[in-house]
Amino acid sequence: MGVRYGGVLILVELAEEWSRLALDHLPVGLLVINRHRKIRIFNQTLSRFLGLKSEKVLGQPLLGILDDRGPDFNILLQTLVTGKEFQNVKPQAVTTVSCSVACLVNTYPVRNRTGITVGAMAVFSPAARLQEMENAVVKAEKLAILGLMSAGMVHEIRNPLTAVGCFLQLLQKCLTGHPKEEYIPIMLTELNRANRLISEFLQFAKPGYSRRTSCSIGETIKNVLMLVESEALSRKLEIKLDLDVDMPNIFVDGEQLKQVFINIMKNSFDALSEGGKIFVQTSWNELDGFAQVSFRDTGVGIDKDTIANMFNPFFTTKESGTGLGMFTSKKIIDNHGGRIDIQSEPGKGTTVVVLLPAVQ
Ligand SMILES: Nc1ncnc2c1ncn2[C@@H]1O[C@H](COP(=O)(O)OP(=O)(O)OP(=O)(O)O)[C@@H](O)[C@H]1O
Ligand SMILES: [Mg+2]
């Protein structure tokens, strides 16, 4: 019996130790007072915030020991007396010189099983952490708005594209035998691609959506180069290609990948002046199973601030840019389980590396 009793005691002690550890490691400061306004819980996080050892304050009356230590504890006393909760009391109200971390405070009554208030607790959340969370919410809201706007635009863009397609087909008949006749099928193919991208947009917006097939990266790059060749020529830019012939086919959405490569190449075009060069190289790392495509340009380069922001939607340094190229590209590569790395030095040029896992 004695042994059992001892065993229960050990279990209770263990449970208390675990509770104490958990409270101490909360990312928020926690202060609990009993109905006599004495401090019952003062976790390590709060001890760090206020610069006070918990041993010094535990069991002490709230007023007195913490008077000069920052937060206006009246709200906690009001909670104790009236049962009223206070939410997110702003940092100005709770910080003083001695409170090293600006906090927002929430207070709650502590009730026993019969509902009687036996104490009150204050939860201190570092304002910087809340700011981070707020920023994340704002970002998520922006993205949601972007989704809605884009869905509306899809409808509007499809109509003019259909009209252009119809007129091109009519023109095709008139231009039979004309020296520039070959341009029409190219334009129609591109128009179809745009239409397909638009049609797939909504589905693409669903995370993880893509239509994957076994695809040759080399062939995809050659296709992209055919599309951008004329622009490169007119801007007097040189594109050098170095394809790894041993690279196996990989399982990707070829159309989406094409879109990524076009976005990256167009950025290089914009960064280059006449005579500039772009080196496109593919390689295959058999050990880690990653296919790598790198695009190196000799353009203006990118500063650190721009690198930090360039994957955000609508971030652009160009007058006519939409700032969606790299955002969309990253999303596509992320969905494929890959990665985009940027290495750049202002004035020297930029290398954009796309890494894709090659599932055989
Ligand atoms: N190769 C590069 N050289 C220099 N700056 C680059 C390069 N690639 C991207 N950037 C920078 O990153 C920014 C974001 O690129 P992103 O492709 O997302 O948008 P954009 O090119 O401005 O507009 P668009 O949506 O029309 O592509 C660019 O405005 C540019 O400042
Ligand atoms: Mg771009």
Domains and CATH numbers, the chain: 2-128 (3.30.450.20), 212-360 (3.30.565.10)
- What pTM did the predictor assign? 0.54
Report whether residue 349 contacts ligand 1, using a CB cutoff of 6 Å.
no
Per-residue CA distances from 39 to 79, 126, 348, 351 (Å): 15, 21, 62, 59
Tell me how long the chain is. 360
- For residues 142 and 315, what is the distance between their CA atoms, to the nearest angstrom? 13
For residue 310 and ligand 1, the question of a CB distance below 6 A is answered with yes
Where does 11-150 show beta strands of DSSP type E?
29-34, 39-42, 86-89, 103-111, 117-126
Strand partners, 351: 296, 343
CB 335 within 8 A of CB 356: no
pLDDT value of residue 355: 96
Q: Tens-digit pLDDT profile for the chain (360 aa)?
A: 444 556 666 667 777 788 888 999 998 889 999 999 999 999 998 888 888 888 988 999 888 776 655 556 788 888 999 988 988 776 544 444 445 567 788 899 999 989 899 999 999 888 776 667 667 777 777 777 777 777 777 767 877 888 898 899 989 888 888 888 889 999 998 888 787 777 666 555 554 556 788 999 999 999 999 888 888 999 999 999 999 988 989 999 898 899 899 999 999 999 999 999 999 999 998 888 899 999 999 999 999 999 999 998 778 899 877 788 898 899 889 989 999 999 999 999 999 999 999 864
Q: Mutate which of 228, 260, 316 to test ligand 1's pocket (most atoms within 8 Å of Cβ)?
A: 316
Q: Is 302 in the pocket of ligand 1 (CB under 6 A)?
A: yes
Q: Is 312 in the pocket of ligand 1 (CB under 6 A)?
A: no
Contact call for residues 355 and 284 (beta carbons, < 8 A): no
> What is the Cα 162 distance to its own chain's centre?
35
Position in ligand 1 atom list of the atom nearest CA 328: 18
Q: What is the dihedral of CA 82, 88, 91, 97, to 10 degrees?
A: 40
Q: Find the angle CA(43)-CA(45)-CA(48) to the nearest 5 degrees.
A: 110
Ligand 2: distance of its center to the CA of 262 in Å?
9
Grouping H, G, I as helix, E, B as strand and the rest as coil, residue 58 is: coil
350 lines ligand 1 (CB under 6 A): yes
User: What's the confidence (pLDDT) of residue 204?
Assistant: 55
